[in-house]
Structure 1
Amino acid sequence: MKLETITASETVGELIARYLAEIGVTTVFGVISIHNMPILDAIARQGRIRFVPARGEAGAMNMADAFARVSGELGVCMTSTGTAAGNAAGAQAEALTAGSPVLHITSQVDLEFADRDRAAIHDVPRQPEMLRGISKAVFRMWDANGAVGTLTAAVSAALSAPTGPVSLEIPVDVQRRAAHPATRIHLPQPTTPIAPESVIDEIAELVKTAKRPLLWLGGGARGAVREATELMRRGFGVVTSTNGRAIVSEDEPQASGRST
Structure 2
Amino acid sequence: MKGYEAIALAIQHFSDAPVFGVMGNANMLIFAALSAEGDERLVSARHEAAAVAMADGYARTSGAVGVSTVTSGPGLSQVATSLLAAARYRSPQVLISGDAYRRDSARLQAFDQQAFADTCESGFVPIKRVQDIVPAVHEAFARATLESRPVLLSIPEDLQLEEAAPSVEAELQALARPQRAATPAPRDSEVERVVDLLEAAKYPVFIVGRGCRDEETIRAVRELAEHYGALLATSLPAKGRVDDDEWSIGVSGGFAHTGARELLQRADLVVGCAAGLASYTTDKTTLYPSATTIALDLEQTPESAMLGHDVVLGDVAETVPRLLAAARNRSDVRVNFRGSDEQEHLKTLSAEAAATIDERSDGIHPAAVAETLRKSLPIGAQVVLGGGHFWAFAVMGIHKRPDLRWQFSYQFGSIGQTLPVAIGAWYGDPSRRLVVIDGDGSVLMHIQELDTVARYRIPMTLIVANDGAFGAEVHKLRPAGLTDTIATFDAPDFAAIGEAFGGTGIHVKEDAALASALEQNTGLGRFEVLDVRISGEVPSEPFKRWYYGG
Residues 222 and 106 (structure 1 numbering): CA distance in 2 closer, same or farther, change over 3 Å?
Answer: farther
Distance 1:202 1:58 in 2: 46
Aligned to 1:129: 115
Distance 2:10 2:179 in 1: 14
Distance 2:44 2:79 in 1: 14
Amino acid at match of 1:228: I
Aligned to 2:171: 183
SS in 1 for 2:35: helix
**Post-superposition CA distance 1:163-197 (Å, at most 9, x none):** 22221111122222222224234222334642542
Amino acid at match of 2:221: L
1:31 CA drift (Å): 0.5
Distance 1:257 1:103 in 2: 34
Distance 2:101 2:180 in 1: 31
**Post-superposition CA distance 1:187-240 (Å, at most 9, x none):** 223346425425445434444544444333444x15455313321233254433
Distance 2:95 2:231 in 1: 38
Task: Judge conservation of contact 1:96–1:136 (CA < 8 Å) in 2.
Answer: yes
Structure 1 residue 244 corresponds to structure 2 residue 243: no
1:129 CA drift (Å): 0.9
Structure 1 residue 144 corresponds to structure 2 residue 137: no
Distance 2:79 2:182 in 1: 28
Distance 2:127 2:163 in 1: 14
Structure 1 residue 120 corresponds to structure 2 residue 114: no
TM superposition score normalised by structure 1? 0.81
Aligned to 2:221: 231
Distance 1:11 1:39 in 2: 10
**Post-superposition CA distance 1:93-129 (Å, at most 9, x none):** 211222222211111112456xxxx5413211x2211
Distance 1:255 1:78 in 2: 42
Task: Judge conservation of contact 1:135–1:167 (CA < 8 Å) in 2.
Answer: no
Structure 1 residue 173 corresponds to structure 2 residue 158: yes
Distance 2:216 2:35 in 1: 39
Distance 1:214 1:49 in 2: 47
Amino acid at match of 1:252: D
Distance 1:47 1:156 in 2: 25
RMSD: 2.5
Task: Judge conservation of contact 1:28–1:76 (CA < 8 Å) in 2.
Answer: yes
Distance 1:175 1:44 in 2: 16
Task: Judge conservation of contact 1:25–1:49 (CA < 8 Å) in 2.
Answer: no
SS in 2 for 1:67: helix
Distance 1:158 1:87 in 2: 21
SS in 1 for 2:158: helix
Amino acid at match of 1:122: Q
Correspondence list, 1:48-197, <5 A: 48-112=39-103, 118-124=105-111, 126-160=112-146, 163-180=148-165, 181=167, 182-185=170-173, 186=175, 187-191=177-181, 193-197=183-187
Structure 1 residue 203 corresponds to structure 2 residue 194: yes
SS in 2 for 1:32: coil
1:79 CA drift (Å): 0.6
1:87 CA drift (Å): 0.6
Aligned to 1:40: 31
Amino acid at match of 1:216: I
Aligned to 2:277: none
Distance 2:138 2:245 in 1: 41
SS in 1 for 2:94: strand
Task: Say which structure, 1 or 2, has more relative contact order (CA 8 Å, 6+ apart).
Answer: 1
Task: Judge conservation of contact 1:135–1:166 (CA < 8 Å) in 2.
Answer: no
Distance 2:142 2:203 in 1: 38
Residues 37 and 167 (structure 1 numbering): CA distance in 2 closer, same or farther, change over 3 Å?
Answer: same
SS in 2 for 1:169: strand
Structure 1 residue 255 corresponds to structure 2 residue 242: no
Aligned to 1:4: none
Task: Judge conservation of contact 2:83–2:122 (CA < 8 Å) in 1.
Answer: no
Gaps of 5+ in 2: 255-550
Distance 1:14 1:201 in 2: 55
Residues 233 and 150 (structure 1 numbering): CA distance in 2 closer, same or farther, change over 3 Å?
Answer: same
Distance 2:57 2:209 in 1: 17
Amino acid at match of 2:178: P
Residues 230 and 47 (structure 1 numbering): CA distance in 2 closer, same or farther, change over 3 Å?
Answer: same
Task: Judge conservation of contact 2:73–2:109 (CA < 8 Å) in 1.
Answer: yes
Identity %: 26
SS in 2 for 1:167: strand
Distance 1:51 1:226 in 2: 35
1:132 CA drift (Å): 1.3
Task: Judge conservation of contact 1:13–1:39 (CA < 8 Å) in 2.
Answer: yes
| Aligned length in residues | 243
Gaps of 5+ in 1: 1-9
Show structure 1 runs of 4+ deviating over 6 A: none
SS in 2 for 1:14: helix
Distance 1:251 1:121 in 2: 57
Aligned to 1:3: none
TM superposition score normalised by structure 2? 0.41
Amino acid at match of 2:109: H
Residues 225 and 43 (structure 1 numbering): CA distance in 2 closer, same or farther, change over 3 Å?
Answer: same
Amino acid at match of 1:183: E
Amino acid at match of 1:184: L
